A and B are shown apart, each in its own frame.
Chain A
Amino acid sequence: MDEVSTIAGKVQRVKDHWPGILAIILTLIAWHCYAIFLIRNRFLLPGPVDVFFAFIALLQKGVLLSDFRVSLIHFAIGLGGALLIGIPIGIVMGWNSRMDAFLNPIIEILRPIPPLAWIPFAIIWFGFTPVSAGFVIFMGAVFPILINTYTGFRGVSRIFVEAGRMLGCTRTRDQIRYIAFPAALPSVISGIRIATGVGWMCLVAAELFGVSNNGLGKDLWFFYDLHQMDSVVVYMILLGLIGLVIDMIFRYYIEGRFLKWRTGEVA
């Protein structure tokens, strides 16, 4: 019974996804034909076969893995810092309207500055270190987290706080921990998800502009200087795929684990 149902499930899954798979295959073929028969210039447009062999070569040299590791460190520093700073400030502003009035102007002035505009100061303050690239990512990631935490706390229904008070949850610290934070969590998590996307884009730019000596973005630039465009495409695809995986982790793992209670609440 089980066996049959899993096989049926697999067949169903293939059925659900085949248009998408077909589109990818068609795109690869079109790309291949365009590059081989029309452009006929591996510098201007490397074909999928060139890219595949470049990928194998890079993998054998071991650069891909070390680049991946370095970039992940940059990303972790930036996102970690953004969580550490963004969530507490968002909580304070969302919970206390006086703090909101106090901090809001500063936030509103800093927020529209493009994260990449911080690159010069990142270099001056932190030199060519992982912290430097992390700082640029931090500037991109901190505001979505802060703003969403703030909005989430603002939206906490009064009835929950009052119900909590009737049940002996009267200290501010407990009200934040046991009521406001879980109530605001969906908003906080969607803020983190936006932040990972923005942060990932900042990461590539930060490395590109020389804030780091290594990393996926940095080596993408390096191979451009060598005019090895097939390797550049390898890095492009890799960056896209990693971004996708990070987003998938959020969509399926984090939301499934922490926002289980929302299934059925939002249609």
Chain B
Amino acid sequence: MADRGGGVMGKLEIRNLSKAFPREDGSSLVVLDNISLEVQDKEFVCILGSSGCGKTTLLRMIAGLDSAESGSIVLDGEKMKGTDARVGMVFQEYSLFPWRSVIDNIAFGLEMQGMTKDDRYRLAERYLKLVNLTQFRDSYPSELSGGMRQRVAVARALALDPVLLLMDEPFGALDAQTRNMLQKELLEIWEATKKTVVFITHSVDEAVFLSDRIIVLTPRPGRICQVFPVDLSRPRDRTSPAFAQVRREVLDLINLNCSIQ
């Protein structure tokens, strides 16, 4: 069992995970093939791959939204079955509940836990402040820009204080400027809250900017092609020569070993 009280929290171990989807002709399409992976406590890991490589499926399995064919997912020594309160998720699409105001979206998970209105608002307001949206407390999602919506989604996931935060291309639909800003904000939040983060992206730039380690997947079937530690000091400057150097290395590596056949 996990030692809950102190020390290690948010260590993720994935062992021999495979997933196949049945096809109409009776055969099956292997999406993920024998993935083994360890993510350390408080580590920021990016999973990088082109579209269709199964990276979203991998994340959904960690989240407990999809079941695995074989293999296991272990969080803090405890095997995960289905969705888990210790895991938060930010989706690629806008997943905020449009019928709830910003504060009620953030407080949703707390409401499910049966927390009283005063308590959950007090807590939700703290996370609202963390993502700098205090003045939009009572707005509805339809009144927010895409970037603001994803910030609310981050706050909503963090409000339950998960040890592991999963992010599925959360900034994929945003313009470059907003995207860069949100990446910076996310790192600040990560520094402040110290969660383990698994972040899916297809952008090398994003992966290099954010992560401690980049895990590159090959497409069809998804296999781990390369694990690339990013040794740049934080805060990172994406215009620096060192940054450009790392980015080039990752790109070369992908072109050499992990590209589509």
A interface, CB within 8 angstroms of B: 159-160, 162-170, 174, 178-179, 182-183, 185, 260-265
Contact = CB atoms under 8 A, between A and B. Distances in A.
Contacts of A168: 83, 85, 109, 112-113, 160
Point out which of B63, B99, B141 has the most chain A C-beta atoms below 10 A from its C-beta. Answer: B99
Contacts of A162: 65, 91, 95
Contacts of B252: none
Interface size bracket, B side: 20 to 34
The main secondary structure of chain B at its interface with chain A is loop
Contacts, number: 68
A190 to B, nearest CB: 15
B83 A160 contact: no
B108 interface: yes
A185 B87 CA distance: 30
A194 to B, nearest CB: 21
Contacts of B69: none
Given A182-B97, A260-B140, A261-B99, A167 B91 contact: no
Contacts of B109: 167-168
B222 interface: no
Given A159-B95, A174-B112, A182-B99, A166 B87 contact: yes
A165 B108 CA distance: 11
Contacts of A183: 97-99
Contacts of B112: 167-169, 174, 178
Contacts of B170: none
Interface of B: 63-65, 82-83, 85, 87-89, 91, 93, 95-101, 108-109, 111-113, 140-143, 156-157, 160
Contacts of A169: 108, 112
Nearest to A183: B99
A239 B156 CA distance: 50
A184 to B, nearest CB: 10
B166 to A, nearest CB: 8
A182 B99 CA distance: 7
B140 A166 contact: no
Contacts of A160: 95, 97
A192 B83 CA distance: 36
A178 B96 CA distance: 13
Contact of A265 (B88, B93, B98): B98
Given A170-B82, A178-B111, 19 more contacts: A159-B95, A160-B95, A160-B97, A162-B65, A166-B83, A166-B89, A168-B85, A168-B160, A169-B108, A178-B112, A179-B97, A182-B97, A183-B97, A183-B99, A260-B140, A261-B101, A261-B140, A262-B98, A265-B98
Contact of A261 (B65, B87, B91, B98): B98
Given A162-B65, A166-B88, A169-B112, A264 B97 contact: no
A90 B197 CA distance: 41
A261 B83 contact: no
Nearest to B159: A167
10 contacts: A159-B91, A160-B97, A162-B65, A163-B89, A166-B89, A168-B113, A183-B99, A261-B98, A265-B98, A265-B142
B140 A170 contact: no
Contacts of A167: 108-109, 112, 156-157, 160
A50 B164 CA distance: 78
A264 to B, nearest CB: 5
B142 A163 contact: no
6 closest A-B pairs (Cβ-Cβ)? A167-B109, A163-B95, A265-B142, A168-B112, A182-B99, A166-B89
Nearest to B93: A159
Contacts of A170: 82-83
